[in-house]
Structure 1
């Protein structure tokens, strides 16, 4: 085996390194120089990166797996230079977007089952109604009364906003204050409030209110934050707490509890069947660390699963980087936006993980904006319009110009957004055929 320029007789690692990184075994922080072949890159120090940016030649040398490996941590990236290679494989794409007049001044909306394009709408007065976008039928079902939070001081530009969540059947809804700490669950048959939500007052301004609705074993359930570092699951119909456990907090000067979690829970993303949940939370000093775990195991086997259970896996560490797009390709593969380990050194793209192991399975550059998926294609709501991607190859296959969706109706096979007085909808290629 030949001696490599790094001084080691070993297998060569991926990419090359500048002489300064090779000479200093303690130096990890580096700039990644994209080669134009996918997200393949070489590594160099800041000074060499400046030289490269000015068009000067930079000597890049082969290094062993050990030397390249010490620079692989997300936090070691201080920047990207160059252009990634983005594959393009144009496919037929119907760009028809349907605009339907809305019956109210809508502040948020959520998909529900109903045999077609059926949605719950939350209007500016707090009313919740059922809307059939195909027929235009609109029925007001209940009125929410979530308290205002006039003392809210926006952090990093995150204004307080009302958010609507719904169970698949459309009987229950949760209205919460994103970047606040108040909310409530309502039975839409009776209009009654079944559960008052309070996410606690420890930095709620840094994250959307952690809430998600799902069905399990024939019951409509709501997952919700009850403290900055605690999530619970309750029965949506009765408000019964299903994840009772103590203690989860402690006071200064006392020993920490055995399962104590030092983590600020963030936005929650349930997999299509509700088997897994993806949590976009963070820790001090501000580092976003998305976590994934098995919801069924949490409810059936281990009430501490969300704190330190065996199915709990961190997916990445990104300084000052959370509240960013995420979704599920299917029930097994979570997707998070951004390539890199620091908010100031992030390349547009996505990383795909395995929920059972927490390991990254693939990554590719290009997608930007809110993410959605239907098992076959990944959709990214870029500012200029919807991008369609093949997650198996990382290729860009189509665009819907001017359409920037915010919600996905899996049952109807639609992506949608509100635009003033209209609901805009686009059918995904794998959408079910409408009934005749």
Structure 2
């Protein structure tokens, strides 16, 4: 017996050779009908689950029509607001990073914390080739304990790791120039004085710090994917890798670090989302096993602003809701998004925006404190 579904479609999309189609939003969350151009606005059929899976097979998704339901139930966001004088100028928005009790900036003179100059950090930005579509930029990362900092060339080929306690470079890595312009430099600090970084376009390695010893010594064969931005889970078990692969497509994959350590080889990971021409999208950890990935759809030209939620292990999609668009962080089960109107607070379980800090657009986060640094003033908002 066929199981009744909730998808509505037109008879043309049930044919063996179906025409191109639109996803027509119904106004209830992100629910939609699948409709060919001829039948937009006409009565539709409610089909069984099997037919719903086949609707539109053979046709091209032409994008979305209509408007999703974006849920706003804003209430007062309790927090502490501060403005401190800090007369430094980060090189760009990627050059401000957290320390356990403060912040570190990468400036023209080097690394500077709120007490003053820390050390030099010499790394030249790769010169953009004529074919490059993404400008190389320096980016700053810090370890959770504040001992180490990494300076990377995003959309470039090289990175260095410094021990801030000795002011010495303890690791230099280079992934080569092959298509390096397409992704931020893949590097992230891990628990236990370790760092994971790309050592070729399709190879990740883990190093011990401060020795720089490679802990993943093996014959590197690569994954066939271009590694991208790396985002560790709060507990340190998982690592998100925002890759791109030919043709090109973006793939957000979750690597189980324990499994990789036990099995060796190259980390394949669990694919959470795969989208044509869409990668380097905002992601955040809601918890140790729940991931939020921005944008809804399968193609960069036919996507909605919003969030998809994926559960680990397994990678099953647990929810989807419209609205969030911008840099995103997770904190105590909520999502904080730097949106057009300020810092938005979203409840991912209900898919509802529950608060807004108007006009505040942070670029860095540490444990519930969000900061921006402009014109010599460090503005911060700490969630109560």
When normalised by structure 2's length, the TM-score is 0.93
Question: What's the C-alpha RMSD, in Å, of the aligned pairs?
Answer: 2.0
Shift of 1:375: 2.6
1:143-186 C-alpha deviation (Å, 9 max, x unpaired):
11113322445744x22111111111111111011110111111
Alignment of 1:414-429 (within 5 A): 414-429=369-384
State the partner residue of 2:84.
100
Alignment of 1:252-267 (within 5 A): 260-267=222-229
Alignment of 1:33-432 (within 5 A): 33-48=24-39, 52=40, 57-71=41-55, 77-94=61-78, 97-107=81-91, 108-114=95-101, 118-125=102-109, 127-131=110-114, 138-153=115-130, 155-156=132-133, 158-216=134-192, 220-248=193-221, 260-299=222-261, 301-304=262-265, 306-307=267-268, 312-410=269-367, 413-429=368-384
Distance of aligned partners of 1:245 and 1:77 in 2 relative to their CA distance in 1, 3 Å threshold: farther
Q: Do the aligned residues in 2 keep the contact of 1:28 with 1:70 (CA within 8 Å)? A: no
Within 2, Cα distance between the matches of 1:358 and 1:76? Answer: 26
Q: Do the aligned residues in 2 keep the contact of 1:179 with 1:208 (CA within 8 Å)? A: yes
For structure 2, the 5+ residue unaligned runs are: none
Q: Which moved more, 1:382-391 or 1:321-330?
A: 382-391
Within 1, Cα distance between the matches of 2:359 and 2:240? Answer: 29
Shift of 1:228: 0.9
Task: Give the 3-state SS of the residue equivalent to 2:13 in structure 1.
Answer: helix
Within 2, Cα distance between the matches of 1:359 and 1:28? Answer: 30
Task: Give the 3-state SS of the residue equivalent to 2:287 in structure 1.
Answer: coil
Q: Do the aligned residues in 1 keep the contact of 2:79 with 2:383 (CA within 8 Å)? A: no
Q: Do the aligned residues in 2 keep the contact of 1:152 with 1:180 (CA within 8 Å)? A: no
Q: Do the aligned residues in 2 keep the contact of 1:30 with 1:71 (CA within 8 Å)? A: no
Shift of 1:89: 2.2
1:75-124 C-alpha deviation (Å, 9 max, x unpaired):
9643111111122223222476433222322221111213xxx1122112
Within 1, Cα distance between the matches of 2:170 and 2:205? Answer: 15
Count of aligned pairs: 380
Shift of 1:315: 0.8
Shift of 1:34: 0.8
Task: Give the 3-state SS of the residue equivalent to 2:77 in structure 1.
Answer: coil
Within 2, Cα distance between the matches of 1:76 and 1:393? Answer: 31
Shift of 1:130: 2.8
State the partner residue of 1:4.
none
For structure 1, the 5+ residue unaligned runs are: 1-8, 132-137, 249-259, 430-436
When normalised by structure 1's length, the TM-score is 0.82
Within 1, Cα distance between the matches of 2:130 and 2:149? Answer: 27
